[in-house]
Each structure stands twice: as structure tokens, then as C-alpha cells.
Amino acid sequence: MWHFLADAGVWVDAGLSPTLGLSRVQEGLDGLLLDSRLSGQQRDGLVEEALRRDPRLPVIALLAAPRMAEAVRLGRLGASAALVFPEEPREAAESLWEALEANWTMQDQRPATPGDPFCALAGRSGSLRRVIDVARMIAPRSSTVLITGPTGTGKELLARAIHAASPRARGPWVAVNCGAIPAELIESEFFGHVKGAFTGAAAQRAGRFEQADGGTILLDEVGETPLEMQAKLLRVLQEREIQRVGGADTLPVDIRVIAATNCDLAEMVRRGRFREDLYYRLNVVPVELPSLAERIEDLPDLTARLLAKVCRREGLEPKRCSRETLDRLMLHGWPGNIRELENAVEKAVALSGSREQLFPSDFPLPSPIALDRDSPAGPGVDLPAGGLNYDAVVHGLELSLMQQALERAGGNKKRAAELLRIKRTTFTARWKALQEVE
């Protein structure tokens, strides 16, 4: 089989031990192939450990015979493919090549090199890839960019990546939160002032636009800019020059402007809260970041990235989420988007102590199941477009109901069982079983 792969241009390092194979993961592999002679336990462990070290690595398992249950289990663990190794090696090589090629195609759509500024944006969903494709195209230009999207989606992160990928990367990067500056100070903050311009102006001071000369300025939360200030921002965008408060001279500024907002600026224009001419000046290249719920398939990558970040900062050994945990997290709505996920990950790391693996109980999120008391069917759950892990959802629902019952009963299992309309012995047995799974 290796000869056929070599003929296709694939270099194969065959015959590695599990330990050596895992060590090569961190050196940068295109894919990891698991031998059919490995035991099921060995294979499962290798899949989990390889993906812990590199969550994006294509891991392909060879099976000695068609076993649907084993293939499904490997898929749930994160394996890219489980292939039956036939008697004809060419068929196995062709199947393997197709699996690798599919993963390479997906990898080619995401930032892969550590030096790529867009590596900071974790995920492989189509919606994120489209955003990054546009960002890559506009990064080398000087066009004004308007980034929109809900709070916590990473608008500043995207703006930084555009700056870092531009010819201005060696120039200044200046970020200004337009909604956090008091109205009486905003003009001085943006344009600077001369000595004696107002009480307390003991020395000349450069404003944010002047500080950004030769680089990029981010006008974050631009929708919060007061109306009287919007006219002055418009002049800067049109003329590329500023005038310090109290000064008579105009100063040219060489800047690239990126604006970001979670507001609907078009609607604000209709209501008279945002200048129409400024809106058109900012909206040269619009880029809309999707919410986390709209790219929920990116959650495993994002969670792995955030876990690595928190563990590195705290000086801890790397941690990872169990498959059931990821399934549970993907059912949450994440109204706070990536910022909410980051807070949840940080809390989970703190709650997990010295454990390497994180479980659903480490993420005290609201239950993803909504109970409908008026429905004769009882509890209901919306089925995500990508499907769900049935066992994990049922387990999560049962655990959540028992925890709530215990809380309301003050820890009294007899009373908790009565709240759930089951026998105390049944409650005790199920509670014990659930704790063992956790």
C-alpha cells in the first residue's frame, strides 16, 4: 500500500510505534494512519491523544473487518475516517488517498502556518472561511473596512489580523473604543490638543489619529460615537488630515481605518442617530462576523484553542474535553459568543483541579433541553442541523433533572425522588450510575 501512496506523491513514515507516532504529531504531520492490528482500546486512546495534541490532524484508522459500531465510535472520538483494509492494497491506498485529500482540501481553506495572522481565528466552518477569504483579499489594500457582528464574536481580533497581513504591519496599531470615551474628552482623545487649549492642558498631546500615522486605527463600537463628533470623523476620512484642539494648523495623517460595531448602522441612519454620509464612508468593504451559534461546528477548535491558552497562562498541564462534553457544549446557544465560551472554559479549568479531562459537570451551563409542560410528549429538544449525540443528550437531561431535584429537596434523596415521580431506590441507583459515568 505504501508504494501506491508514494507513487501519488505522499511520503509515508511507516512502522512507527504508538509512542513515536504521537511524538511526530507535534512535529507537523499531514495525517496519522492507525494500523488494523492495534487493539480497539489502543486505537481509541491514540485517536484521543493525537487530537489532544493537534485538534485539526486528520486521523485515519484501518479496520481488519467491517465493524459499524467501531467505525461509529471512532467517528465520535474525532477520527476523520475508518477504512476496512481489503486484500487488494491498491483499493486501500485509493481510499486512504481520498480521505487525506478531503482533509487537505479542508485544511487549505483555513490558516495553517504559525506566521499567518489569520491563525488567530480558530475554526473551519464555511461561514468563517468566507470571512477570512474576504479579509485576505482586502488586507493589502488601503480601503476602509466596516466589521459588523454580535458582541463577543472577535471583531477586534479580525481587525488586528487584517492590519498584521497588510503592508502597514510594521506601522502603529491603535484601537479606540468610541463608546468608552466621555463626550467632553472625545475630540481631544481623537485629535490631540495644543498646550493651553483648555484647563489642564499643560502640554501638547498627540491624539489617536496622529498616533496611528503610518499604520491602522480601529474605531471600535463606532455606532456609539456622538453625532457632533461624527461630522469631524467624516472630515478625517475625506481629507486624511486632522487639527489639534486649540491649534490652527492641519496635519496630514497616513492611516488605514477599520471600524467595528455590533449595531445596525443602516437602521441608525434611518432613525437619525448616525450620519448617512459617514456610514457610506465607513461601509466601503463590509465584513460580517457570524455568531458562534451560526458556526457551532467551530466550537471544538475554539475550545481546544482557549483551553491551551488558559492552561499555558496558568502554568498547567494541557487539558481536553471529553466527546460528551463537546456534544453538550454544542447544544448551548452561546448568546455571549466566543467571549462567553472563553469565560466558561476558564471556569471549567478552575473547577477541574488536576484532572486532564473536562466533563459536562465542569461547565455549569443551563440545560440545553427545554421542558414543555403543555406538550403530551413531555420534554423536547431541537435537533441541530449537524445532528447530536443521543446518549450525551439523554445523559445530560437526566443528570440535570436529578441535580435540580436534589437542590430543591435540600439534598434529601427521598424528597428528590418524589419530585421526579420515581421510587427512592430508582433515584439512588440512577444517581449512582450517572456519577460513575461522570
The domain 367-438 having CATH identifier 1.10.1040.10: the answer here is: no
Rg (CA), the chain: 27
Report domain extents, the chain. Answer: 2-108, 117-288, 292-365, 367-438
Is there a shared CATH topology between the 2-108 domain and the 367-438 domain?
no
pLDDT at residue 412, rounded to an integer: 80
Distance CA 138, CA 135 (A): 5
Q: Measured between alpha carbons, how far apart are the two ends of the chain, in Å?
A: 42
| Domain 117-288 in this protein, CATH class | alpha beta
Q: Give me the pLDDT at residue 108, please.
A: 42
Task: List average pLDDT for each run of 10 residues in the chain, which is 438 residues long.
Answer: 51 66 68 82 86 77 78 77 63 60 48 63 84 92 94 93 93 91 86 79 84 94 93 93 86 95 94 95 94 88 89 88 85 88 94 89 69 46 63 78 81 82 84 72
Q: Give the pLDDT confidence score for residue 196 in this predicted structure.
A: 76
Assigned CATH for 2-108: 3.40.50.2300
- DSSP lists the bridge partners of residue 147 as 260, 287
Distances (CA, A) of 239 to 114, 228, 243, 250, 252: 38, 18, 11, 10, 8
Instruction: Supply the pTM of this predicted model.
Output: 0.60
Question: What pLDDT sits at residue 114?
Answer: 45
Return d(Cα 18, Cα 201) in angstroms, integer.
Answer: 68
Task: In whole angstroms, give the CA distance from residue 344 to residue 353.
Answer: 15
pLDDT of residue 163: 95
pLDDT value of residue 347: 94
Q: Are 145 and 159 in contact (CB under 8 A)?
A: yes
Say what angle helices 424-437 and 390-408 make with each other, to 10 degrees: 130
CATH of 292-365, one of 3.20.20.70, 3.20.20.150, 3.40.50.2300, 1.10.8.60: 1.10.8.60
